[in-house]
């Protein structure tokens, strides 16, 4: 069985993107896996700290247990998403025990997020996780730059953010970061934003973000590793597909499947109906938005 690190590298070389579907509610996991298998795709099933702290994923152990019920290693792997060193409320997080627990629970890749720290501190925190995870043979994703959206309070106007390049990943910092941390994948900020997670804003339609592809080209050349796009929901399709051609090998999808689940639960109170809504939207993401349905063979072969 190919490792998750090999699969992501194969995706980069093949010009195919691996979606990582975030699971804020445990019943969402089964229909996501079913859609991925039915459409002969490959995806990561991901959970981030906000999803068990602020939603209903419960815990990394609960997600791992649910994943085991539906696991199909030819199509899906389990990923520990955003474990922040400093969280969205600017509170320090005891992140290393969370990573250790994820490794013990069988997560097949992990992400440490030190992006709210100064560069040197982000490098040190990421290096500590790399040492821990690589000893277990597990790849590490890190983040550099400010992928905004999880913080409390309104974002500045999107056009202002994009025009200014505020928070965009710096190319020379990325070169240094990858060299000094040894991380396997790097999440970059090039115009993408996260969906809101604070109560009262979760139902809002995301801004239709676009991407600065010239910066992405520079980052891909400087780092030489698979790059990751967080906040994949709501980005213009043409920008997403172009980003894959320019070095993005993994894209996180959360809001796009979370909101249909929540809407169906509000309207029907029926978990099965909500799961069907998740299935339909996941199928749309795979087939129409990311065009990865039927692409698993390229990832397996590393073509």
Provide φ and ψ at 111, rounded to 5°. Answer: -130, 130
The sign one gets for the Cα dihedral 175, 88, 133, 27 is negative
Which two structure tokens, joined as six digits, stand for 135?
A: 């000893």
Of the candidates 38, 40, 74, 81, the residue annotated as catalytic is: 81
- Per residue in 245-286, pLDDT (tens digit) is 999 999 999 999 999 999 999 999 999 999 999 999 999 999
- 144 close to 115: Cβ distance less than 8 angstroms: yes
Average pLDDT over residues 67-86: 96
pTM, rounded to two decimals? 0.90
Question: Where residue 150 falls among pLDDT bands split at 50, 70, 90?
Answer: low
Least confident range of 142-151, 158-167, 207-216: 158-167
Of the candidates 220, 191, 196, the one whose C-alpha atom is nearest the C-alpha of residue 206 is 196
Q: DSSP 3-state assignment of 75?
A: coil
Range 93-104 burial, b when 16+ CB lie within 10 A, else e: bebeebbebbbe
Distance CA 123, CA 115 (A): 10
- Per residue in 1-43, pLDDT (tens digit) is 789 999 999 999 989 999 999 999 999 999 999 999 999 999 9
Query: Which string of DSSP letters, residue by residue, matches 179-243?
Result: HHH--SEEEE-SS--PPP-STTTTTSPPP-----HHHHHHHHHHH-S-EEES--TTS-HHHHHHH
Distance CA 43, CA 292 (A): 10
Q: DSSP 3-state assignment of 11?
A: helix
DSSP code, position 26: G
pLDDT above 60: residue 199: no
**81 catalytic residue (yes or no):** yes
Provide φ and ψ at 219, rounded to 5°. Answer: -65, -40
pLDDT above 50: residue 53: yes
Domains, in order of start, for the chain: 4-301 (3.20.20.70)
pLDDT above 50: residue 237: yes
Of the candidates 149, 95, 136, the one whose C-alpha atom is nearest the C-alpha of residue 117 is 95
Distance CA 182, CA 176 (A): 10
| Residues whose CB is less than 8 angstroms from the CB of residue 11 and which lie 6 or more positions away in sequence, other chains included | 17, 18, 42, 226, 249, 250, 299
Provide φ and ψ at 170, rounded to 5°. Answer: -80, 135
């Amino acid at each position: 069985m190919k490792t998750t690190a090999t699969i992501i590298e194969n995706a980069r070389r093949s010009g195919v993107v691996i979606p990582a579907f975030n699971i804020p509610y445990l019943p969402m996991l089964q229909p996501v896996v079913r859609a991925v298998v039915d459409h002969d795709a490959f995806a990561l099933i991901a959970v981030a700290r906000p999803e068990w702290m602020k939603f209903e994923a419960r815990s990394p152990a609960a997600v791992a247990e649910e994943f085991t019920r539906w696991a199909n290693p030819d199509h899906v792997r389990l990923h520990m998403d955003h474990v922040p060193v400093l969280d969205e409320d600017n509170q320090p997080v005891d992140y290393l025990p969370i990573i250790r627990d994820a490794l013990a629970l069988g997560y097949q890749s992990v992400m440490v997020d030190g992006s709210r720290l100064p560069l040197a501190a982000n490098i040190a925190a990421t290096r500590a996780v790399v040492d821990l995870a690589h000893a277990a043979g597990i790849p590490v994703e890190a983040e550099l730059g400010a992928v905004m959206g999880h913080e409390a309070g309104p974002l500045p106007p999107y056009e202002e953010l994009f025009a200014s390049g505020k928070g965009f990943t710096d190319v020379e910092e990325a070169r240094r970061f990858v060299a000094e941390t040894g991380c396997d994948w790097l999440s970059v900020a090039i115009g993408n934003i996260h969906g809101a997670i604070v109560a009262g804003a979760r139902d809002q339609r995301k801004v239709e973000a676009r991407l600065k592809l010239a910066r992405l080209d520079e980052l891909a050349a400087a780092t030489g590793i698979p790059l990751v796009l967080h906040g994949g929901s709501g980005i213009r399709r043409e920008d997403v597909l172009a980003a894959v051609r320019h070095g993005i090998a993994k894209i996180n999808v959360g809001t796009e499947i979370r909101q249909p689940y929540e809407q169906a639960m509000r309207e029907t109170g029926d978990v099965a109906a909500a799961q069907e809504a998740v299935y339909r939207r996941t199928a749309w993401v795979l087939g129409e938005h990311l065009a990865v349905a039927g692409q698993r063979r390229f990832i397996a072969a590393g073509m």
